[in-house]
Chains A and B, each alone.
Chain A
Amino acid sequence: MTLTYEDVLRRYEPVIGIETHVELGTVSKMFCGCATDFGGEPNTQVCPVCLGLPGALPVANEKAIESTIRIGLALNCSIATWCRFARKNYFYPDMPKNFQTSQYDEPLCVDGYLDVDVDGETVRVGIERVHLEEDTGKITHVGTSGRIHGAEYSLVDYNRAGIPLVEIVTKPVPGAGAHAPEVAKAYVTELRDILRTLGVSDVRMEQGSLRCDVNTSLSPAGSGADAGRWGTRTETKNVNSLRTVERAVRSEILRQAALLDAGGRIMQETRHFSETTGDTRPGRSKEEATDYRYFPEPDLVPIAPDPEWVEKLRAGLPELPAARRDRLRAELGVSAEDMVQLTNAGVVALVGATVDAGAPIGEARNWWLGYLAQQANSREIDAADLGITPAQVARLVELVADGALSVALARQVVDGVLETGQDVDAVVAQRGLKVVSDTGALEQAADDAIAANPDVADKVRGGKLPAVGALVGAVMKATRGQADAAAVRAILLERLGVSE
């Protein structure tokens, strides 16, 4: 018998927790002056410091500390007045020093929260800590397995080693019930919008500048999931898109429930989510035995942010997505339901920016929830990553309103923008996509269509008005879709001597 999700949620209470790693968009690395650009030739953005050569020493990037504090402030955290970096010791060739300079028991920001909306309800996700560390190098295992075990050989690119990385850890989130997967997704979506608004990272999940690990555990329903006595959790890695966040939690809830139902025990372990199979697989169990031997990093002086500076950073925060949503709702009169839809689709900021660029809210909403959402879905990317800007969408809306483009043509323009990366007007000009509004040309096309389809014309004359659709289609075809369908219909009916 297959377990249904609904059945599982009647008997088990999921508790989730999310660790997010964000690569900061600083110009230089965390502890040296090397560039942080994505996609450079391997091992070209390196120096003695980020290669961990003997004798090299780190110096902390002040901009990265500032960005981390701004993130902490946006997540309602307390900012430490004094804290230190710590060394996390482990042997792995992606770490040139065989220790990662991170933070341990003295994080820069602690004890905050982030409110997210799921199905019209607000869920408060507690933030345990926000800390700063350095990214590792990137290893490519060459061979059939794609993993270190069974690899023929492995390549290491240290361009990524030392890029500032912020880790944001939630407190456990109980009580979401069946909505747990959506809460997880809504949290990451909201967090991503905040990070983008702060301008601290390009938050590209597909490029790894935003990476999530999701912790999931199950307790028997009503067994005191509120009391903090939760089941054993697993940590799912490789959760690298918003869709995957939701899928990974859901699949892990189902897997754990099936195991518990069969009398099994959940192992505390790291698991990897597979996009192809849609489920999680166990990672290396060896990782569990690691003792990282944390101790304060003696090569770096402690960080002691001046409270006045912190208050200046707080005052300088931009309008955050939640405030922006409230303002948009109030200013633009968007309904609560619409707002939920926009939020779930992750397009609030995009709609807002489209409105700011001159489009009416209704049109902006329709584009981002309609055709553009479809395009994003079919490409399995986020709408923000489509490659069309709010300003371009606003220009489309304007052209449609002016009658220069039909909606159908406007969609073709979108396709052109997405394919070529060119601007709206350039695509319109190059492809000759303009509404044919020359009445003479349309009348000629209508007469041709009537002449070519005499029996259809007779049906219409005989009062079967819907049959005119075939003639409209013929005219649209003849004008390569560049006519306004309503105008064509009116001309055809007039030529056939029929009135509605």
Chain B
Amino acid sequence: MTGELTRSGAADLAARIASGEVSAVEVTQAHLDRIAAVDGSIHAFLHVDTEGALGAAKAVDALRASGGPLSPLAGVPLAMKDVVVTQGLPTTAGSKILERWQPPYDATIARRVKDAGIVMLGKTNMDEFAMGSSTENSAYGPTHNPWDLSRIPGGSSGGSSAAVAAFEAPLAIGTDTGGSIRQPAAVTGIVGHKPTYGTVSRYGLIAFSSSLDQAGPFGRTVLDAALLHEVIGGHDPADSTSLPQPVAPVVAAAREGARGDLKSVRVGVVRELGGQDSTGYQAGVLASFESAVGSLRDLGAEVVEVSCPHFGYALAAYYLIAPSEASSNLARFDGVRYGLRVGDDGVNSLEEVMSLTREAGFGPEVKRRIMIGTYALSSGYYEAYYGQAQKVRTLISRDFAAAFERVDVLVSPTSPFVAFGIGERIDDPMAMYVNDLCTLPASLAGTPAISVPSGLSEGLPVGLQIMAPALADERCYRVAAAFEAAVEPVLSSIPELVA
């Protein structure tokens, strides 16, 4: 029974809890048991909140017993990326510098999740301050890919993706700055969506790069991701960059897409991302992509190739903009007000204590990006680096705008590779950064993109990325759901973990 509960999706669990077939407490306990059984080898969680989760589940059961109205995901468990601030629960962003910090407030999305009766199981591992593509940059040790424990689960939201793929949670929240939802979803064989920038509140996300960060849902199906998307999306007056828009009708789009009809949908293959001008992609990834494009055509979509000539500059622009903003966003971690403090011996000066704290509290990748960003913003270099990168950003947005005049969605592989081995790329930042090749353009343009499993290569999952214009997130879900319905479910071939 418990094994069966953890294999169920969110939509299914919600329906069974609502009907009284199972209780929220039973569902929650089954997932807590699963975590206890397998997380020793996965390490998806940094903190499991057994008491809080069971308390929230009991509240849902009580509400149901009293005949109160249940929201669509009431009682369904969720794993929360540790970059999202949660009141009274440790929140570290994967960094030593925030070890044992207990936030006094909830992020807007954490509040929305709780208000929806969703049961938060705990906080998931991540690359420190969301900087990375493998979760190896966590100060608390790497997370292992449930498909092959010697491999990475993607990053930076690798704890969230691994938790969902390992059936520790049916839903998870991640954040995506340059691909940190989509790439982990791709390499663990699940669905992950990066919403349009400004449509999911950033209030309470520990900021990496403010103009790029966006939270979004993970699920094992497109519909599950859509259900969570509708809970966390929508305007938030506490976030100045939040758009005064109602959340896109993504659940309806996922249901419509599942009927499998893509007639009159125009799909663009990006020549520079997996199309004919692609280099550096694994052959198995390109093969899976070609077969995915064939499936879309079979569903009735009209497929054309489009060119986005400035996408080739996305990587360089991203690795200036994101570190620049990060260098400023991470300045507040200085040991003065909260978190780690090192060297406060009454002799060291204030500057020395700040310096020793940051030296000890930040990992090497975070330090590397703070230094790059500090340099790029320096007087005399600003125009050549940050200023120039912002111009590239505008050009990339124009490429998208031109492409979306011709097509409804753009498709590409989500990542150029399948999950690589833990330790394989960690000493070579450039080899790590190219993970983001396909995901960066949508990040820089602030446009929505989803990753949906497209098949296996050498026994490991490959993801298909579907990109849409800003505020048209529902197109991503519709096409993804149609595609999902047409192909063999990837997760059914995941090896059973030895518990």
Is A53 located at the chain interface by the 8 A CB criterion?
yes
- Residue in A closest to B212 when the chains form the complex, CB atoms: A298
Shortest CB distance B46–A (Å)? 15
Chain A residues near B332 (CB-CB < 8 A): 52, 54, 96-98
Shortest CB distance A26–B (Å)? 17
Whether A293 contacts B336 in the complex (CB less than 8 A), given A57-B202, A59-B238, comes out as: no
- The interface centre, meaning the residue of A54, A87, A96, A99 with most chain B CB atoms within 10 A of its CB, is A54
Whether A148 contacts B350 in the complex (CB less than 8 A), given A89-B331, A298-B325, comes out as: yes
Chain B residues near A96 (CB-CB < 8 A): 332, 337
Chain B residues near A57 (CB-CB < 8 A): 202-203, 238-240
Is B351 located at the chain interface by the 8 A CB criterion?
yes
Chain B residues near A300 (CB-CB < 8 A): 240-241
Q: Are B105 and A53 in contact, CB atoms less than 8 angstroms apart?
A: yes
Shortest CB distance A151–B (Å)? 9
Is B98 located at the chain interface by the 8 A CB criterion?
yes
Chain B 220-248 interface mask (CB, 8 Å, partner A; 1/0): 00000000000000000111110000000
Q: Are A56 and B204 in contact, CB atoms less than 8 angstroms apart?
A: yes
Chain A residues near B328 (CB-CB < 8 A): 87, 89, 99, 293, 295
Is A419 located at the chain interface by the 8 A CB criterion?
no
Chain B 106-148 interface mask (CB, 8 Å, partner A; 1/0): 0100000000000000000000000000000000000000000
Q: Are B336 and A93 in contact, CB atoms less than 8 angstroms apart?
A: yes
Q: Are A60 and B331 in contact, CB atoms less than 8 angstroms apart?
A: no
Q: Are B379 and A51 in contact, CB atoms less than 8 angstroms apart?
A: no
Chain B residues near A299 (CB-CB < 8 A): 207, 210, 240-241
Q: Are A293 and B85 in contact, CB atoms less than 8 angstroms apart?
A: no
Shortest CB distance A231–B (Å)? 24
Is A143 located at the chain interface by the 8 A CB criterion?
no
In whole angstroms, what is the CA distance A54 to B85 when docked?
A: 8
- Residue in A closest to B339 when the chains form the complex, CB atoms: A54
272-303 of chain A: CB within 8 A of chain B: 291, 293-295, 298-301
- Residue in B closest to A297 when the chains form the complex, CB atoms: B210
Chain A residues near B337 (CB-CB < 8 A): 51-52, 96
Q: Are A301 and B331 in contact, CB atoms less than 8 angstroms apart?
A: no
In whole angstroms, what is the CA distance A295 to B209 when docked?
A: 13
Is B104 located at the chain interface by the 8 A CB criterion?
yes
Is A371 located at the chain interface by the 8 A CB criterion?
no
Shortest CB distance A91–B (Å)? 6
- Residue in B closest to A88 when the chains form the complex, CB atoms: B328
In whole angstroms, what is the CA distance A294 to B85 when docked?
A: 27
In whole angstroms, what is the CA distance A98 to B354 when docked?
A: 11
Q: Identify which of A53, A58, A60, A301 contacts B338 (C-beta below 8 A).
A: A53
Is B457 located at the chain interface by the 8 A CB criterion?
no
Chain B 190-205 interface mask (CB, 8 Å, partner A; 1/0): 0000000000001111
Shortest CB distance B380–A (Å)? 9
Chain A 289-325 interface mask (CB, 8 Å, partner B; 1/0): 0010111001111000000000000000000000000
Is A48 located at the chain interface by the 8 A CB criterion?
yes
Shortest CB distance A295–B (Å)? 5
Is B103 located at the chain interface by the 8 A CB criterion?
yes
Shortest CB distance B453–A (Å)? 31
Shortest CB distance A90–B (Å)? 9
Is A228 located at the chain interface by the 8 A CB criterion?
no
Chain B residues near A301 (CB-CB < 8 A): 240-241
Whether A291 contacts B331 in the complex (CB less than 8 A), given A54-B98, A55-B206, comes out as: no
Chain B residues near A54 (CB-CB < 8 A): 85, 91, 93, 98, 101, 103, 206-207, 332-333, 338
Chain A residues near B103 (CB-CB < 8 A): 53-55
Chain A residues near B50 (CB-CB < 8 A): none
Shortest CB distance A485–B (Å)? 65
- Residue in B closest to A292 when the chains form the complex, CB atoms: B379
In whole angstroms, what is the CA distance A99 to B210 when docked?
A: 14
In whole angstroms, what is the CA distance A300 to B84 when docked?
A: 20
In whole angstroms, what is the CA distance A123 to B427 when docked?
A: 65
Q: Are B203 and A55 in contact, CB atoms less than 8 angstroms apart?
A: yes
Shortest CB distance B2–A (Å)? 35
Shortest CB distance A304–B (Å)? 13
Shortest CB distance B390–A (Å)? 9
Shortest CB distance B206–A (Å)? 4
- Residue in A closest to B204 when the chains form the complex, CB atoms: A55
Is B211 located at the chain interface by the 8 A CB criterion?
yes
Chain A residues near B203 (CB-CB < 8 A): 55-57
Shortest CB distance B250–A (Å)? 24
In whole angstroms, what is the CA distance A57 to B329 when docked?
A: 11
Shortest CB distance A157–B (Å)? 13
Chain B 341-379 interface mask (CB, 8 Å, partner A; 1/0): 000000000110010000000000000000000100111
In whole angstroms, what is the CA distance A59 to B84 when docked?
A: 19
In whole angstroms, what is the CA distance A60 to B101 when docked?
A: 28
Q: Are A59 and B240 in contact, CB atoms less than 8 angstroms apart?
A: yes
Chain A residues near B101 (CB-CB < 8 A): 54
Chain A residues near B325 (CB-CB < 8 A): 295, 298
Is B261 located at the chain interface by the 8 A CB criterion?
no
Chain A residues near B98 (CB-CB < 8 A): 54
Q: Are A59 and B206 in contact, CB atoms less than 8 angstroms apart?
A: no
Shortest CB distance B68–A (Å)? 31
In whole angstroms, what is the CA distance A294 to B325 when docked?
A: 11
Chain B residues near A58 (CB-CB < 8 A): 240
Is B382 located at the chain interface by the 8 A CB criterion?
yes
Chain B residues near A148 (CB-CB < 8 A): 350
Whether A293 contacts B210 in the complex (CB less than 8 A), given A58-B240, A300-B240, comes out as: no
Q: Are B240 and A48 in contact, CB atoms less than 8 angstroms apart?
A: no
Is B176 located at the chain interface by the 8 A CB criterion?
no
Is B386 located at the chain interface by the 8 A CB criterion?
yes
Is B473 located at the chain interface by the 8 A CB criterion?
no
- The interface centre, meaning the residue of A56, A87, A293, A299 with most chain B CB atoms within 10 A of its CB, is A293
Shortest CB distance A140–B (Å)? 14
Q: Identify which of B205, B336, B379, B386 contacts A55 (C-beta below 8 A).
A: B205
Q: Are A91 and B377 in contact, CB atoms less than 8 angstroms apart?
A: no
In whole angstroms, what is the CA distance A280 to B485 when docked?
A: 78
In whole angstroms, what is the CA distance A59 to B202 when docked?
A: 12
- Residue in A closest to B83 when the chains form the complex, CB atoms: A55
In whole angstroms, what is the CA distance A486 to B479 when docked?
A: 103
Q: Are B91 and A48 in contact, CB atoms less than 8 angstroms apart?
A: no
Is B474 located at the chain interface by the 8 A CB criterion?
no
Q: Identify which of B91, B202, B210, B350 contacts A93 (C-beta below 8 A).
A: B350
In whole angstroms, what is the CA distance A10 to B93 when docked?
A: 65
150-168 of chain A: CB within 8 A of chain B: 154, 156
Chain B residues near A55 (CB-CB < 8 A): 84-85, 103, 107, 203-207
- Residue in B closest to A33 when the chains form the complex, CB atoms: B238
- Residue in B closest to A54 when the chains form the complex, CB atoms: B206
In whole angstroms, what is the CA distance A294 to B241 when docked?
A: 20
- The interface centre, meaning the residue of B211, B240, B334, B379 with most chain A CB atoms within 10 A of its CB, is B240
In whole angstroms, what is the CA distance A291 to B327 when docked?
A: 14
Chain A residues near B238 (CB-CB < 8 A): 57, 59
Chain A residues near B338 (CB-CB < 8 A): 53-54
Q: Are B210 and A48 in contact, CB atoms less than 8 angstroms apart?
A: no
58-110 of chain B: CB within 8 A of chain A: 84-85, 91, 93, 98, 101, 103-105, 107
Whether A53 contacts B93 in the complex (CB less than 8 A), given A58-B240, A91-B331, comes out as: no
Chain B residues near A294 (CB-CB < 8 A): 377, 382
In whole angstroms, what is the CA distance A255 to B240 when docked?
A: 49
Shortest CB distance B245–A (Å)? 14
Given contacts A291-B378, A298-B241, 13 further A-B contacts (CB under 8 A): A48-B104, A52-B332, A55-B206, A56-B204, A59-B237, A59-B238, A89-B331, A93-B336, A99-B331, A291-B379, A293-B378, A293-B382, A301-B241
Q: Can you list 20 A-B contacts (CB < 8 A)?
A: A51-B337, A54-B101, A54-B207, A54-B332, A55-B203, A55-B207, A56-B105, A58-B240, A60-B240, A93-B336, A93-B350, A98-B332, A99-B328, A294-B377, A295-B328, A295-B377, A295-B382, A298-B209, A299-B210, A300-B240
Closest 9 A-B residue pairs measured CB to CB? A98-B331, A298-B210, A293-B377, A298-B211, A55-B85, A55-B204, A54-B206, A97-B332, A291-B379
